[in-house]
Amino acid sequence: MTESQQNDGRLYPAHPTVAVSAIIFKEERVLMIKRSKEPNKGKWSIPGGGIELGETLDQAVKREVREECSIEIEVERVFYTTENIIRDDDGRVKYHYVLVDMLAKYAGGETKAQSDAEECRWVTAEELSELDITPRLRAVLERALI
C-alpha cells in the first residue's frame, strides 16, 4: 500500500465513501470508461467519483465527468442508489462505497480520457455485452436502457 493510498481514505476506510456516477446518453449510445485505478482497474465502468465537501450530487457528477472525460453533461435525475463493499482476503473492508447513479445527457465537448479513465468510449446497448464490467453495473445499465 502506497502512502497516497493510505492517505486518500478510500482504501481501508473508517467510514463509507459517498460517490456519484453518470449514465450519459448521446443519441443511441452510452459513455463508458476503462478504469485506470483500483477498485476494478481495467474494467469498464461509467464516469464518476467521490463527492467533495459542500458539493451537491449534480455538481459532483458534472465535475467528475469533466475530470475523467472532458465533456459537459445535463443531469436529468437520480436513477439508482446502491452500495459496493469489497473485502480483502482476511475479511476486512478494503473499499466501501455508497453509489448514486445519475441519468444524464451529453451537453458538449470532445470526449477525451483523463484522470481515472484509461479510455472513453460511446457504445450501443449491443456493444455493452462485449465489455468487461461488473455484474452490479451490468444490471444498472440494463435497467437504464429499457
Measured between alpha carbons, how far is residue 70 from residues 5, 26, 51, 57, 87 in Å?
25, 15, 18, 18, 32
pTM over 0.85: yes
The span from the CA of 47 to the CA of 54, in Å, is: 20
Instruction: Express each pLDDT in 101-130 by its tens digit.
Output: 999 999 999 999 998 899 999 999 999 999
The span from the CA of 112 to the CA of 40, in Å, is: 20
Please report how many Cα atoms fall inside a 13 Å half-sphere around the Cα of residue 51, on the Cβ side: 19
Residue 141 burial (CB < 10 Å; 0-12/13-18/19+)? buried
* Whether residue 72 lies in the annotated active site: no
Q: Active-site residue among 28, 74, 118, 119? A: 119
Give me the domains of the chain, ranges plus CATH numbers. 3-144 (3.90.79.10)
Per-chain mean pLDDT for the chain:
92
Model confidence at 32, pLDDT cuts 50, 70, 90, reads very high
The answer to whether residue 6 scores a pLDDT higher than 80 is no
Backbone angles phi, psi at 32, to 5 degrees: -120, 150
